[in-house]
Chains A and B, each alone.
Chain A
Amino acid sequence: MTERLERARRLGERIDAGWQREDVEAQLARLHVRQRVRARRRVLAVPLAIAIAATIGVWWTRGSTVAPHEVARVAPLPVAPAPVVAPVPTPEPPAPAAAVAARDEGSAVPPPSKDNRIVAHHASETDAPIAAPVPSWRDDANRGAYAAAWLGLVRAAPLDRMEDLLLAGDVARLSGHPDAAVAQLARAVERHPDDPRAPLAAFTLGRVHLEDLGSPRDAAQAFAHARALAPSGPLAEDALAREVEAWSRAGETETARARAVTYGERYPKGRRAHAVRRFGGLEVP
C-alpha cells in the first residue's frame, strides 16, 4: 500500500460513530418501539393474508364479468347467509355454496362457479369496503422517513401513549422541528412520570433544549428532572454531567460548580469526570 493510501486507511480506522451511553439508551427505546410495531404487523398479517386470498377467490368465482378494482371492495370473510337463489339454470347443486363453504373454512381459492349470477348476487349483498392499510406517520418514522412522518404527525390527533409521544418527539426533532419535539417530550414526561421511559424523555428534552434550541436553563431543568425521575437509573450519571454543562452555558457558574462537586462525590471515576470538572470550573485551564 502506498503512503497516501496508507494515510487514508489510517484515517478510515479512526472513524467512530462515537455513541455515548445516552445515544445507546435513546436508540434502544426506539428499537423497542419498532419491535412492538413489527409484532403488531405480524399479528395482522394472517387475517390480512386470508382476506386477500378470499378476495381473490371471490374475484375468481365472479369470473371475468367483474373488474378487479370492483372486487377489492368485496368483504372477504364474514359471509354466512346462504345465497338467495333467483333463477338457477341447472339442477346440479349450486357451486357458490361450495365457494362460500370454502371461504368459511379459510380456503385460499374456492373452485370456480358455473353460475356467476348467483355469486354476483350474493356478493352484492355483502359489499363492504376493506380497510386498506394506510401508511401512518408511525410507519414513516419507523423506516426513517422523518420528513414524511412529520407531515402525517401534524395531521394526527393529539397523542397520549408514551411510545407515541417518544416517537413523535424523534420525528419532530429529526425533521427539524425542535419546538414541536419539546412539546411532545414535555407531554410524555408530564403524562407518564411513572413510566420507565420517562427519564429518557426528560433527558432527550434536555438535549433538544441544549443542542437544538440553545436554551441551557431549560435544558438544565430537564436534566435535573431526568435525574429526579430515576436517581439511580442508567441515565442518572449522564444527566448530572449534562446538567453541569447546561448550568455552565447558562452562566450559572455557582450552580454548575455545586453540581460538579456532587458529580465528583457520586461518580469519582465517572466517564465524564473530565468534562464535568471543566464545565464546573473545578479545573484550572
Chain B
Amino acid sequence: MVTPASRHLRVIESSTALEAPITLDAAFRAHAGFVARIALRVLGRPSEVDDLVQDVFLGVLPRLADLRDPQSLRGWLAVITARLARKRLRSRRWKVWLGVGSDYDYTQLADSAASPEDRALLRELYRALDRLPVQQRLAWTLRHAESLELTAVAEACDCSLATVKRWIGAAEAALREEIDHD
C-alpha cells in the first residue's frame, strides 16, 4: 500500500543530491530540539517528551542510512513525531476512559515570562484540546501551534487535504465554544 509516508520516503530516496549517509548522532544533534518542540506542543506534557523523541529516532534509524537529502529529514521527522504523538494521545484517551488517566496541570507549559492570565489561558486551551477527538486535536495543533502547511498536516494525519481542513474547522469551532466564554 502506498502511504503518504512511503511516498515521502521515495521522494527522499530518489533525490539526486547524493551526499554522505546521515548518521544517527548527526541527525539527533541537528533535529532533536525540533522534534522535542513538536512533541511538547502536541502532547502538552513535558514528562512525555523525552520518550517520544527517543521513539522517533529509534523509529527512523533503520531507514536513516537510505536518506541522502538532509533537507528532507526534518519533514520526515515531523511526520513521524506527529504519528507517534497521535498514538500517545489515543492511549491517554483510553486511560482516561478506564479511569486510570491523571489530570495534568498545563500551567507549567508557559514560559517564565508569561503572566498568570496567560498561564491560565494556556491551561484552558490544553484542557479544551484534551476534550477534542485526537485527530482534530492533532490537526489543529500542527496547523496553528506548529504552523505547518496544510499539506504537511494532511500527511502527518494520514488523510486528505479536504479532511484535514474539515478537522481543523471542527476543532476551531469547538475551541471557540470552550475558550470564548467571555
Contacts and interface: CB of A to CB of B under 8 A. Distances in A.
B40 A16 contact: yes
Given A17-B33, A19-B32, A28-B32, A8 B57 contact: no
B54 A17 contact: no
Given A12-B141, A13-B145, A16-B111, A27 B175 contact: no
A14 interface: yes
Contacts of B147: 13
Contacts of A16: 37, 40, 111
A31 B57 contact: yes
Contacts of B28: 24, 27-28, 31
Contacts of A4: 121, 179-180, 182
A34 interface: yes
B51 A17 contact: no
Contact of B29 (A28, A30, A35): A28
A38 interface: yes
Contacts, number: 93
B41 A144 contact: no
A15 interface: yes
B33 A34 contact: no
Query: Chain A contact residues: over half helix, strand or loop, or mixed?
Result: helix
Nearest to A28: B28
A5 to B, nearest CB: 5
A161 to B, nearest CB: 20
A15 B124 CA distance: 15
A27 B122 contact: no
A138 B125 CA distance: 37
B49 interface: yes
B65 interface: no
A132 interface: no
A7 interface: yes
A3 to B, nearest CB: 8
A31 B58 CA distance: 8
Interface residues of A, number: 25
Interface in B82-129: 109-111, 114, 118, 121-122, 124-125
B32 A12 contact: no
Interface string A227-251: 0000000000000000000000000
Contact of B125 (A1, A12, A144): A12
A17 B36 contact: yes
Contact of A12 (B36, B58, B61, B122): B122
A11 interface: yes
A9 B46 contact: no
Given A11-B110, A13-B145, A19 B36 contact: yes
B144 interface: yes
B176 interface: yes
Which has the most chain B C-beta neighbours within 10 Å: A2, A14, A17, A30? A17
Contacts of B172: 1, 5
B50 to A, nearest CB: 6
Nearest to A11: B122
B49 A17 contact: yes
Nearest to A24: B32
A2 B54 contact: no
A31 B24 contact: yes
Given A8-B179, A13-B144, A31-B54, 20 more contacts: A1-B172, A1-B176, A2-B179, A2-B180, A4-B182, A5-B175, A9-B125, A9-B144, A11-B118, A12-B125, A13-B145, A15-B37, A17-B36, A24-B28, A27-B53, A27-B54, A31-B24, A31-B58, A34-B58, A35-B58
Interface of A: 1-2, 4-5, 7-9, 11-17, 19, 24, 27-28, 30-31, 34-35, 38, 143-144
22 contacts: A1-B172, A1-B176, A2-B179, A2-B180, A7-B118, A8-B175, A11-B110, A12-B122, A14-B111, A14-B114, A15-B40, A16-B37, A17-B40, A24-B28, A24-B33, A28-B32, A30-B54, A31-B24, A31-B28, A35-B61, A144-B50, A144-B51
